[in-house]
Chain A
């Protein structure tokens, strides 16, 4: 497994998509930092206004993390969708599977390499945004809360990767990318519906959102992550404002559900990959 793991890491490092992704991420962070700078340029960082500035800072952190879900989701889906189906379509899998390497080792080696990349990328991106917001808006985020939130958020790349691997073990590259994006989009819509439902106090809309999150719980992971990362700010009433906040906070059981969901998805992906013909 370690040989496939290292080979996949080399593949990720050498593929242009990863390099382009890194460059765009740096541009995204630079743009975000510039925006933050101009938001607080003329604000007074004292007295009553400071409270609102901090709330604004938290909202910006929510925005930054939310946009990160789009960036991370796209990156995970794009680099992982071609990993299995792309190799099966092109025939490169024959060069690997005909060697004394078990299919389980191929799948787990590839998965862990992508996961490591996704986790490192996610952690760096989230912490960069959190530090920028914290510094600009004097947020004083507790480290334990920030790490807890980031830790919860790490379920996000894991979830996206598991879903993409499952789809990729059965469909072609393009079909698996499109299917994964559609599932991801469903989660986004479900998340928005849940928040809007809470804002207009409509239980039916909330329940439709929850049902969507059960199909693909990525948005619920984001909401719980941002809630915990904010510490006291996360639980303040103002945190509920806006589409990126937590007007309707998913139950903590959603994390357990997500963990079970990922496990089942991976078992199915494993069985499909082990049993298929190349």
Chain B
């Protein structure tokens, strides 16, 4: 089977990327690196610069400053793209082609040997669930089918690196689950995945690493577990809390929720939980119940996006 796997070292490397559109700054001093097999989820609000960064890495957009490399080659070098796949957010096809013709064109462009072309196309069609519709013109495909086809074209040559920009935006819930499975399969094969998505649950389930981008700046990146650790909370059912103590926690931006029954506070670890309970008890307030909660990626995201 034709597999591009000869890429070693850093798969994605961005150093001090800047991108201006006129006076607008779309990317500001972004540095990032991904190793083989990492599934990187880039999170940020609309217009934060996620798609621009992907386009810079693929050489579709020229960086105003900085260096972008994929698979060991500069972004402008077509050799780097030989081992990369890309599903754009705005996926558009040559609608006068059939699905099969588009996949065959991609197979040839990516240099899949002729004897393996049919096998690669068949495998992609089965994976994306378009088998039986491949001889239809793309203009007759639904939006979801077109997105599946774009995904099939991106992974047809089993690339070392895949960029998926909102890969499930046009899909129904079943389609989303299928795409999640495909991502899981690519992950199991050791493919490096760069995922842009608004669906936090999708990112939480599939990504090994996360990055947060806001107003063109990559404000944080790292292993998913490290971010999730910062997002545990302590739910306490207590007697009435003194205002001084409440102010103290609020000033440290620890309060997640407050109600008549008690308070939920953000904590970093078990020691933090123990310290809080001790502080409250020392203030003479009874603690009736304590529970550690996971706040989830949504809370991490909201936290990151706060100015």
Contact = CB atoms under 8 A, between A and B. Distances in A.
Interface stretch (B29-37, B56-64, B113-121): B56-64
A3 B81 contact: no
A11 B94 CA distance: 8
Residue picked from A10, A92, A99, A102, most chain B C-beta under 10 Å: A99
B91 interface: yes
Interface string A246-278: 000000000000000000000000000001011
26 contacts: A3-B105, A7-B94, A10-B101, A90-B92, A91-B88, A91-B91, A92-B93, A94-B60, A94-B92, A95-B91, A97-B60, A98-B58, A99-B110, A100-B78, A100-B79, A100-B81, A100-B82, A100-B109, A100-B111, A101-B78, A101-B109, A275-B62, A277-B55, A277-B62, A278-B60, A278-B61
Interface in B32-80: 55, 58-62, 78-79
Contacts of B150: 95
A11 to B, nearest CB: 6
A91 B101 CA distance: 19
Interface in A1-40: 3, 7, 10-11, 14-15
Contact of B55 (A15, A99, A278): A278
Interface of B: 55, 58-62, 78-79, 81-82, 84, 86, 88, 90-94, 96-97, 101, 105-106, 108-111, 150, 153
A95 B92 CA distance: 7
Q: How large is the interface on A (under 10, 10 to 19, 20 to 34, 35 or more residues)?
A: 20 to 34
A195 B109 CA distance: 51
Given A3-B105, A7-B94, 12 more contacts: A11-B96, A15-B96, A91-B91, A94-B60, A94-B86, A95-B93, A97-B59, A98-B86, A99-B109, A100-B109, A101-B78, A278-B55
Interface string A74-91: 000000000000000011
Nearest to B56: A277
Given A11-B94, A92-B93, A277-B62, A100 B110 contact: yes
B109 A91 contact: no
Q: Does more than half of chain A's interface fall in helix, strand or loop, or is it mixed?
A: helix
A95 B88 contact: yes
Residue picked from A10, A90, A94, A278, most chain B C-beta under 10 Å: A94
